[in-house]
Structure 1
Amino acid sequence: MRPSSLALQDRLLPGVSRTFALTIPQLPMALRPAITNAYLLCRIADTVEDSTAMAPDDKDAHYQRLLAGLNDVSAARKFSEALLDTGLIQDPLERDLIDQTPGVLRAFGELPVDQQAALQHCVTTMCQGMADFERLKDPYGLEDSGCLRDYCYVAAGCVGEMLTRLFAGIHPRIHEQREEFRRLSLAFGQGLQMTNILKDVWDDRQRGICWLPRDVFEARGIDLTQTQNWQDHPGYRDGIRFLVAVAHHHLRLAQDYTLRIPASEVGIRRFCSWSIGMALATLRKIADNPGYTASGEVKISRRRLGLIVATNNLSVGNDTRLRGVFRLSRYRLPCVQEQEIGPLLAGHDGNI
């Protein structure tokens, strides 16, 4: 990738994600440009999804223009101009990202062909899946657990698959076990996405969106379409604890994924273990206070983040120490048996 493209990516990344601006530099140099580019492309797609005032057909048109830009850099400017012309992108950092999309897509075209293929599959899956889910959005949640599982795949599971392809491209041992890594990557993505959904449930509701599966709560005596003040209902709080347990189950598989990565790949292990540690710490705060009504109530502190980073950095090069850190990170979290998870078990129905 050209120095000017690297510089553009490095400038844009901290503005749209402080977390990834911390974790991506931990990766081997051979992966950093591609994974930075992938995150920026996913964030560009998210900017379309987050525009709640935009009609589903209009969003679909923006997604298609973005996908066209993967193969034709001249089409990228059409995407930027059309999206900015809606007047719906108000955040200055997001406007800058959309304005610079042609440069991000130009950088994509400078990646090795095999890395381009992995990114293109991921971004295509995400854009097409988000377009489908746009028509299922509801302030009272998704219809059932299967819908949540499939949403987690298009929002995060496909990212796990992409990262696995990129990791396998630089390490023979990961390549040899790529199918097992791919299976675990779906759980990894779902665990992280479920954590984000739970953390942001009240912020999302203010935007007229809810990703909670209604069947989980109906089984506990609460109809999300009819009940006011969900947080006051015992069945709602029990449903939240169940979803925490399901996310916890998937993050345990994410820990298995991380331990399968050769200990010599300290950077990749850091990249994975930091995100798992932050997610588990968030789940613990949610489990301790399932009646929370704002994301700020369950957000982890900077001090906790620093502790997560420090303990993982001390242990990633040694399997025994890393297993110990992982056990401590799961302490006192709600658990669920795999057979109780049902349609929420990681994966997708193949129709996405």
Structure 2
Amino acid sequence: MDIETLLKNTSRSLYLSVQALPGSMRPAFGIAYLLCRYADTIADTSILPAQRRLYWIERFPHLLQEQNLQEAAQLAGEICGGSENPYEKELIKNLPPCLHVLNQVPAKQLPIIMDVVQAVCDGMKIDLSTFPEEHSAQLRAFQTPADLQHYCRLMGGKPGLFWSRLICATSKIKMPETEFYELGQHIGDALQIVNILRDLPKDLRIGRCYFPQQNLTEAGLTAADLLDTANSTRFEPIKRKWILWGVNNLKSAVRYFAQLSKTQPGGRAAVAWPVLWTADTLLKVWQTPDLLNPQKRVKIPRSVIYSTILLTPPILVSNGLFNKWLTAKLRKFN
């Protein structure tokens, strides 16, 4: 299977953003996503014990650098059959073609890719070393808000940094790069807390509570209490606290977007869409009274995704319109 098809099949709505990117950014972004997704498949496979998965997650960035095809084949052999997703199965079998594409990326973009893969692997090491085995019937929570913020920075903020460094490598911005990078990390933090919020019931049932014990104790809850949908009301203040943390981070997108060149409308669209969809998803989580219910999967409908795309053209030439659009969405949190 070719890399373009792998990307389309594994990235869902993100593929729409990738297609909008300028040609100078698309290969690097696409292969970085696939390699991070490959690492995610290693971390989540059900056929290896956590310690073996931890070994491979630690090895994965080195494997990419060393281009050891024998080791790549060993890895694929160990995790083959560990996913029910047919597209992940194809990805598992296609690491060598991914390595080939990685080798074609311009030299100045290669360190950017390796840095984000390393950061995401570091986040997955936290998963595998902090939480119990998925089928152990045990449940553990992060201890402090700082733990959750650090995790969001690795899994979301560092990809936001990757995106920002890629932009700076292919176009000019007016503000200092370090400031631009920090804004990008804040946006990535917001994208990650959305994933954690909407995946909460599923994560709890594999032993993972990302919401800190400190917050739970203040609400008179334990991680195990969150397995009971009847505790949704008691969990509501914690849910809203972290949604507002995400909203506050997402506000960075206004200044970030204003730095993007209007001569690259595709690049502006590729930033605007995930930000606007994240705002929509945060609101949907905010308005969901029983987030702990495992029968519910919070996500925005396809109609919202495509309507956002259809309404995009004016903001490609106006920072002010993007500001108004995003701000109007974020005002709904009260």
TM-score, normalised with respect to structure 2: 0.90
Name the residue aligned to 2:124: 130
1:9, 1:104 within 8 Å by CA — same for their partners in 2? yes
Name the residue aligned to 1:85: 78
Change (3 A) 1:288 1:26: same
One-letter identity of the residue aligned with 2:272: S
1:311, 1:325 within 8 Å by CA — same for their partners in 2? no
Name the residue aligned to 2:290: 291
Q: How does 1:103-122 map to 2 (within 5 A)?
A: 103-122=97-116
Name the residue aligned to 1:196: 195
One-letter identity of the residue aligned with 2:231: D
One-letter identity of the residue aligned with 1:108: L
Distance 1:259 1:290 in 2: 35
Change (3 A) 1:123 1:320: same
CA displacement 1:128-161 (0-9 Å, x = unmatched): 3322331112534311211111111221211111
Between stretches 157-166 and 133-142, larger displacement belongs to: 133-142
Distance 2:39 2:315 in 1: 35
Change (3 A) 1:169 1:235: same
SS of the aligned residue for 1:41 comes to: helix
Q: Structure 1 residue 149 and structure 2 residue 143: aligned?
A: no
> Which residue of the other structure, out of 34, 39, 43, is the alignment partner of 1:45?
39
Distance 2:290 2:5 in 1: 39
Between stretches 258-267 and 180-189, larger displacement belongs to: 258-267
Name the residue aligned to 1:344: none
Seq. identity, %: 22
SS of the aligned residue for 2:267 comes to: helix
Q: How does 1:101-250 map to 2 (within 5 A)?
A: 101-137=95-131, 139-173=139-173, 177-225=176-224, 229=228, 231-250=230-249
Change (3 A) 1:185 1:227: closer
Q: Structure 1 residue 16 and structure 2 residue 15: aligned?
A: no
Between stretches 94-103 and 311-320, larger displacement belongs to: 311-320
TM-score, normalised with respect to structure 1: 0.86
CA displacement 1:163-208 (0-9 Å, x = unmatched): 111110111226x621011111111111000001101111222333
Question: Number of paired residues?
Answer: 326
Gaps of 5+ in 1: 1-6, 335-352
Q: Structure 1 residue 308 and structure 2 residue 308: aligned?
A: yes
Distance 1:129 1:30 in 2: 28
Name the residue aligned to 1:3: none
SS of the aligned residue for 1:173 comes to: coil
Gaps of 5+ in 2: 133-138
1:52, 1:207 within 8 Å by CA — same for their partners in 2? no
Change (3 A) 1:327 1:231: farther
C-alpha RMSD over aligned residues: 2.1
One-letter identity of the residue aligned with 1:303: S
Q: How does 1:265-344 map to 2 (within 5 A)?
A: 265-292=264-291, 293-294=293-294, 296-334=296-334
1:140, 1:209 within 8 Å by CA — same for their partners in 2? yes
Distance 2:19 2:230 in 1: 39
Distance 1:255 1:50 in 2: 35
- Could you tell me how far 1:34 is from its partner in structure 2? 0.6
CA displacement 1:225-275 (0-9 Å, x = unmatched): 456515535330121111111111111113332222233332222111110
Distance 1:140 1:291 in 2: 21
2:209, 2:223 within 8 Å by CA — same for their partners in 1? no
2:254, 2:322 within 8 Å by CA — same for their partners in 1? no
